[in-house]
């Protein structure tokens, strides 16, 4: 409507030979900007039988994941001028209760082979493989334990992830929730995570994420990131690089801009790229878009219509509480 792109969208990464038609349908109909999937979800269809069960999957499975990667790479050759990020394979790893250390549950052991076999695809690992689910107390205990992996505290599964993918330049660490859940509760853990990702992967292969669908406006996370520094004593002891302003700019946006082919960001003059939303934007919206946005008079489902009808009737809840109250005799 404004004549400039304001938002990018994932396609659903359902892998397996039985899902190739679905990948093709999404591409032909929606031309997504990139792909998002979950190893841990039962989203892989191994055979073409539509009644067959879905299962968990891993990146390096040549019979399950590779046919999907091949199809995406084939389409990328055609779409890369219009969709530069179409070859971005974004996959959730980590944020799970205690699980076996296997790729189907989010362990990073499957990434090196896939990254090596598919050099024209970018493998962006969401949450940087942090194992604990949101609250990183377990990670803090691992830091305090003194257990090291290649000279740094062994934080499950992030430390191992950073080391495993270090040689592969088409791998990227995304820090959504990992940053939010560590900086407010265990900032020392946040320092180790950022230090390790920078030490083994470098600031050019880290991308910011806010998971703001869970946490609300991401501004507090961005402000915290601008202010944050890895303490000097940790940098000296473990060889962590300094989190410079240049590195922060890359992580907060410049790296993602490069992955998605967004031009002109480095100059800072975004007014030339992003045009203002026209005042008559509502008139320019299609009926389908109005319905999806649930604008007045364009409800998307029967429940919304019932809600509107209820509001029109002017009905108010009575707030009367019904039930028994137990009292002593």
Model confidence over 5-28: pLDDT tens digits? 888 999 999 999 999 999 999 999
Residues 6+ apart with CB under 8 A from 233: none
For the segment 234-261, the average pLDDT, to the nearest whole number, is: 97
202 with 303, same domain: the answer is no
Q: How far is CA 61 from CA 86, 149, 215, in A?
A: 21, 27, 34
Model confidence over 172-213: pLDDT tens digits? 999 999 999 999 999 999 999 999 999 999 999 999 999 999
149 with 293, same domain: the answer is no
pLDDT value at 77 more than 70: yes
Whether 177 is covered by a domain: the verdict is: yes
87 with 23, same domain: the answer is yes
In this structure, the strands spanning 152-153 and 148-149 are antiparallel
Place of tokens 């959504």: 176
User: What is the pLDDT of the chain when averaged over all its residues?
Assistant: 93
Q: How far is CA 179 from CA 36, 65, 173, 174, 224, in A?
A: 20, 29, 12, 9, 10
d(CA 135, CA 176) in angstroms, rounded, equals: 13
Place of tokens 């890895």: 230
Whether 325 is covered by a domain: the verdict is: no
151 with 289, same domain: the answer is no
Whether 206 is covered by a domain: the verdict is: yes
Model confidence over 94-150: pLDDT tens digits? 999 888 999 999 999 999 999 999 999 999 999 999 999 888 999 999 999 999 999
What is the Cβ-side half-sphere exposure of residue 229, based on CA atoms within 13 angstroms? Answer: 6
For the segment 23-47, the average pLDDT, to the nearest whole number, is: 97
Band the pLDDT of 255: cuts 50, 70, 90: very high
d(CA 181, CA 137) in angstroms, rounded, equals: 10
What percent of the chain shows pLDDT beyond 90?
75
242 with 303, same domain: the answer is no
Q: Are 235 and 190 in contact (CB under 8 A)?
A: no
Domain span including residue 302:
285-312
C-alpha torsion sign, points 66, 67, 71, 72: negative
For the segment 159-178, the average pLDDT, to the nearest whole number, is: 98
294 with 216, same domain: the answer is no
What does the pLDDT read at residue 149?
98
124 with 260, same domain: the answer is yes
Whether 324 is covered by a domain: the verdict is: no
What does the pLDDT read at residue 50?
85
Band the pLDDT of 295: cuts 50, 70, 90: confident
Query: Does the global pTM surpass 0.85?
Result: yes
What does the pLDDT read at residue 5?
83
pLDDT value at 268 more than 70: no
CB atoms within 10 A of CB 109: 16
246 with 294, same domain: the answer is no
203 with 308, same domain: the answer is no
Lowest mean pLDDT: which of 138-142, 297-301, 310-314? 297-301
Band the pLDDT of 323: cuts 50, 70, 90: confident
Q: How far is CA 235 from CA 9, 152, 160, 225, 240, in A?
A: 37, 11, 19, 17, 4
d(CA 119, CA 109) in angstroms, rounded, equals: 17
What does the pLDDT read at residue 169?
98
Whether 280 is covered by a domain: the verdict is: no
What does the pLDDT read at residue 300?
66
Compare 307 and 193 and report the one with higher pLDDT.
193
């Amino acid at each position: 409507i404004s004549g400039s792109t304001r938002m990018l969208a994932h396609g659903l990464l359902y892998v397996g030979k039985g899902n190739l038609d679905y990948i093709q349908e999404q591409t032909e109909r929606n031309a997504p900007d990139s792909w998002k999937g979950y190893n841990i979800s039962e989203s892989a269809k191994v055979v073409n039988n539509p009644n067959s069960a879905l299962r968990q999957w891993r990146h390096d499975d040549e019979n399950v994941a590779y046919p999907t990667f091949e199809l995406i790479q084939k389409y990328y050759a055609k779409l890369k001028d219009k969709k530069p990020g179409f070859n971005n394979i974004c996959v959730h790893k980590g944020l799970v209760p205690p699980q076996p250390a296997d790729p189907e549950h989010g362990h990073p052991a499957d990434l090196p082979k896939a990254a090596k076999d598919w050099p024209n695809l970018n493998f962006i690992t969401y949450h940087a493989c942090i194992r604990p689910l949101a609250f990183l107390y377990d990670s803090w205990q691992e830091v305090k334990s003194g257990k090291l992996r290649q000279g740094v505290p062994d934080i499950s599964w992030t430390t191992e992830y950073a080391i495993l993918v270090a040689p592969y330049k088409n791998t990227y660490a995304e820090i959504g929730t990992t940053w939010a859940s560590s900086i407010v509760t265990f900032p020392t853990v946040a320092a180790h995570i950022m230090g390790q990702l920078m030490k083994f992967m470098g600031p050019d292969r880290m991308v910011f994420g806010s998971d703001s669908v869970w946490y609300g406006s991401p501004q507090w996370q961005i402000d915290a990131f601008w202010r944050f520094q890895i303490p000097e004593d940790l940098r000296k002891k473990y060889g962590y690089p300094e989190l410079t302003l240049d590195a922060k700019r890359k992580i907060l946006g410049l790296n993602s801009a490069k992955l998605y082919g967004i031009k002109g960001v480095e100059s800072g003059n975004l007014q030339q790229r992003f045009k203002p939303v026209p005042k008559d934007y509502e008139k320019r919206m299609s009926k389908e878009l109005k319905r999806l946005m649930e604008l007045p008079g364009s409800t998307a489902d029967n429940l919304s219509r019932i809600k509107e009808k209820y509001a029109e009737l002017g009905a108010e809840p009575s707030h009367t509480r019904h039930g028994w109250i137990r009292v002593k005799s």
